[in-house]
Amino acid sequence: MLFKRYFLVGGAGFIGSHFIDALLSQPHIQQVTIYDNFSTGKTWHYQHHTYDPRLTIVNSDAKDIEQLTQAMRHHDIAIHLASNSDIAKAVSDPTIDFTNGFYLTYHVLEAMRLNKIKRIIYTSGSGVYGDVGTLESHEDQGPMHPISTYGASKLAGEAYISSYCHMFGLTACIFRFGNVVGPRQTHGVGYDFVRNLLKDPTTLRIMGNGTQSKSYIHIDDIIKAVFLTNEKLETRYEVYNVATGDYITVRDIANIVIQCLNIRNPVNLIFSETDRGWAGDVPIVRLNTNKIRSLGWRCQRNSAQAIKESVLAMIEQVKSLPTSLLQREEFRDHAQS
């Protein structure tokens, strides 16, 4: 099925901005709506498209179901990206992944039901699998035991989407991504390292002992995977892992950032004693990607290449910001995921 009118909840964020780029590059697309409360979304993410009459911006919160339902009218597909981006914050605010996670997913589904929109793309995550060590997680394994409220909210969202597919005729593509990196990032381990080393190139404090090992995948590879599966979906509900198939440690990422910044003097890397960056962190993540690869998708970069490309882009991004902005609360240390 060829979709022409896309509605992106949380579309002003890092990942959403790249969906906007991809969608507006296609001549058959008639309407693209960004629905965002701009708590973390940025206007500069899409400013280069403001001339395009097909793009509509709605500054509102998905907690407002009446506004959400009204804005979603006359679209034929929803991409649900909105969630809590600061995973570690749940330690001090246990409600955040419910109010900014599952609750929003319920509202998106209800707005879709009321508007008779039949396709949802949902960005879940590897946190749904919990801590299974070096076991390579595949989409139909179970039972799943998330160890963070973030992972639990994503798994609850998946379950509710499944129920709406079976009860109300929706169809869904669910994606459990590795750690997504690329231009326009505003949080994450690579971004934190770039920002902190630009301020102090002599010392870098790292959450965890540096051995955390995960897949880091470039946003361009993510976008290709999503559109491929959306085009080929033939069933009511499908879940896909999307990752590079290889892994990199936080210590390795620190070294890549140091090299990209061309820091020649030794940097004092200060680690914490635990292998977890925060309560609920999963230090080792392994994702089986056979299912998405069976559709013909291939990742174009490994984790190290994805990190290097994104770091080089972030260096230019962060350098372009005034020092006063770098010190503001919105650029505080985020969870190193």
State whether 115 and 203 are in the same domain: no
Last residue of a domain, one of 242, 259, 290: 242
State whether 186 and 60 are in the same domain: no
State whether 173 and 35 are in the same domain: yes
State whether 73 and 98 are in the same domain: yes
Distance CA 285, CA 325 (A): 34
State whether 63 and 80 are in the same domain: yes
Which CATH number characterizes residue 263's domain?
3.90.25.10
State whether 10 and 150 are in the same domain: yes
For residue 324, pLDDT over 80 is answered with no
Least confident of 5-14, 163-172, 245-254, 308-317: 308-317
State whether 205 and 87 are in the same domain: no
Residue, of 269 and 324, whose pLDDT is higher: 269
How many structural domains compose the chain?
2
* 291 is a domain residue: no
pLDDT at 337: 45
Confidence band for 322, pLDDT divided at 50, 70 and 90? low
pLDDT at 282: 94
DSSP reduced 3-state for 273: coil
State whether 165 and 229 are in the same domain: yes
Confidence band for 323, pLDDT divided at 50, 70 and 90? low
Distance CA 237, CA 95 (A): 28
Mean pLDDT, range 155-166, rounded to an integer: 98
Nearby residues of 281 by Cβ (< 8 Å), 6 or more positions away: 87, 88, 148, 208, 212, 335, 337
* 158 is a domain residue: yes
Residue, of 280 and 303, whose pLDDT is higher: 303
| Residues 217 and 284 sit within 8 Å (Cβ to Cβ) | no
State whether 93 and 203 are in the same domain: no
* 117 is a domain residue: yes
Which CATH number characterizes residue 138's domain?
3.40.50.720
State whether 158 and 118 are in the same domain: yes
pLDDT at 31: 98
Read off the pLDDT of residues 51-96 as tens digits, 9 standing for 90 and up.
Answer: 999 999 999 999 999 999 999 999 999 999 999 888 888 889 999 9
* 294 is a domain residue: no
Strands 171-177 and 179-181: unpaired
State whether 207 and 315 are in the same domain: yes
State whether 147 and 201 are in the same domain: no
pTM, to two decimals: 0.92
* 288 is a domain residue: no
For residue 135, pLDDT over 90 is answered with yes
Q: What is the overall mean pLDDT for the chain?
A: 93
Read off the pLDDT of residues 27-38 as tens digits, 9 standing for 90 and up.
Answer: 999 999 999 999
* 293 is a domain residue: no
pLDDT at 333: 38
Read off the pLDDT of residues 227-286 as tens digits, 9 standing for 90 and up.
Answer: 999 999 999 999 999 999 999 999 999 999 999 999 999 999 999 988 887 888 999 999
* 292 is a domain residue: no
Percentage of the residues of the chain whose pLDDT score is greater than 70 = 95
* 232 is a domain residue: yes
The residue segments making up the domain with residue 78 are 5-180+217-242
Strands 248-249 and 213-214: antiparallel
